Amino acid sequence: MIGPLDEYPIHQAPLPIGLVDASDRNFYDRCYLNAHDRTGDIFVITGAGYYPNLDTKDAFVLVRRGDVQTAVHLGEAIDSDRLNQRVGNYRIEVVEPLRRLRLILEETEGIAMDMTWEGSFDVLQEQPHIMRTGNRITLQAQRFAQVGTWSGTLTIDGEDIAVDPEKWVGTRDRSWGIRPVGEAEPAGKPADPPFDGMWWLYVPMRFDDFAIVLIIQENPDGYRILNDCTRVWKDGRVEQLGWPQVDIRYESGTRTPTGATIMCTTPDGQQLRLEIESRLAVPIHLGGGYGGDPDWTHGMWKGEKFTERRTYDVTDESVAGRIMFGVIDHVGRAVCHGPGADGSEGFGLFEHGALGRHDRSGFADWFSVAP
């Protein structure tokens, strides 16, 4: 398992760098990136993951246009060369660490891309994230996030789409640690009390002069187990924005948000208000491999040199009925009101999931919806 990274003094354990100092099968190291042209006409979500204790790695590209989501999945055995991130025809080139990346997918199942990411602000290290089921840690992760712009070309079934950095923006994150991946494990003793839901909000937004990154998780009774909201300025200053108050607006008869109002507090006690609207919704458990996706899951072994393409019409009843049981990523437009930002327009990710019971939202169980 000795690889190129072992030439560098970066070891954190008495092991080759390709091995991890954890026996948990669910150890992962993954990146997520999205790209859109601000209009809501198209949304691209992509990422790659390494799972050392499952001996596998994978990647995906998910594209939403109109009512159709198209996913390409790739997977193969892991290798020890982490300097060259590659899964089949998919690769990530680190042009300038923490600032510039190049993503390439050679034509696979009709989809191809050659797109370069440029970070607009410094990356932001988020607070550690921990979740337990009973006594067991089921998620223990570290993540950094960044907002930026894209350039290059995206190709869908022979159609070349120009990606202009004056129009195309997005967000990205990289996280690593423990979270459920691969095939489902035996449950053991059921959790007491049983899992009856979670409420999740993740909003990294890019404005001209600053970025705001918000991440909140609540239990069904509204108890907040994760609260991290910061503003990053061009000169590298980072402000904490307190304990945000959030009002999500849902489409009637669904759990799909149409927008939100978020009230934040600057370090000197002033109010900062974000008004967010959704311009396009992408349920990432429909082809994206995230929680609740029955078709493909991150870290699942599908065989060497695996590729597949799946297509989802979100207006189909068999597909639409699954949307409320997972997290939804939105092309988000925001207007920020308050000190240093009055009326500033921004774009980025509006990611939300209200799964199961959430008292504050009026969801009594897994099947209740907005009035």
| DSSP code per residue over 321-368 | TTGGGS-EEEEEEEEEESTTTTTEEEEEEEEEEEEE-BGGGTB-STT-
Element (H, E) at 318: helix 317-320
Helices (H) and strands (E) in the chain, counts: 1, 23
Please report the beta strands in 136-223, taking only residues with DSSP state E, as ranges in sequence order: 136-156, 159-163, 169-178, 197-206, 210-218
pLDDT tens-digit series, residues 27-77: 999 999 999 999 999 999 999 999 999 999 999 999 999 999 999 999 999
Sign of CA dihedral 286, 306, 59, 218: positive
Instruction: Find how far residue 8's CA is from the centre of its chain.
Output: 30
pLDDT tens-digit series, residues 283-315: 999 999 998 798 999 999 999 999 999 999 999
CA 257/CA 252 separation, integer angstroms: 9
What 8-state DSSP symbol labels residue 319? H
Conformational region of residue 303, where left means phi above 0, alpha means psi within -120 to 50, and beta covers everything else: left
Residues sharing a CB contact under 8 Å with residue 36, sequence separation 6 or more, in sequence order: 42, 43, 44, 168, 169, 170, 280, 331, 347
C-alpha closest to that of 38 among 345, 268, 299, 266: 345
What 8-state DSSP symbol labels residue 26? T
DSSP 212-281: EEEEEEE-TT--EEEEEEEEEETTS-EEE--S-EEEEEE-TTSS-EEEEEEEEE-TTS-EEEEEEEEEEE
pLDDT computed for residue 324 by the predictor: 95
The angle formed by the CA atoms of residues 197, 199 and 200, to the nearest 5 degrees, is: 135
pLDDT truncated to tens, each residue of the chain (371 aa)? 788 888 889 898 999 988 899 999 999 999 999 999 999 999 999 999 999 999 999 999 999 999 999 999 999 999 989 999 999 999 999 999 999 999 999 999 999 999 999 999 999 999 999 998 878 888 999 999 999 999 999 999 999 999 999 999 999 999 999 999 998 888 777 777 778 999 999 999 999 999 999 999 999 999 999 999 999 999 989 999 999 999 999 999 999 999 999 999 999 999 999 999 999 999 999 999 998 798 999 999 999 999 999 999 999 999 999 999 999 999 999 999 999 888 999 999 999 999 999 999 999 999 999 99
Residues sharing a CB contact under 8 Å with residue 245, sequence separation 6 or more, in sequence order: 262, 263
Instruction: Find how far residue 95's CA is from the centre of its chain.
Output: 22
CA 155/CA 287 separation, integer angstroms: 18
CA quadruple 24, 25, 31, 36: dihedral, nearest 10:
-120
Sign of CA dihedral 39, 348, 250, 195: positive
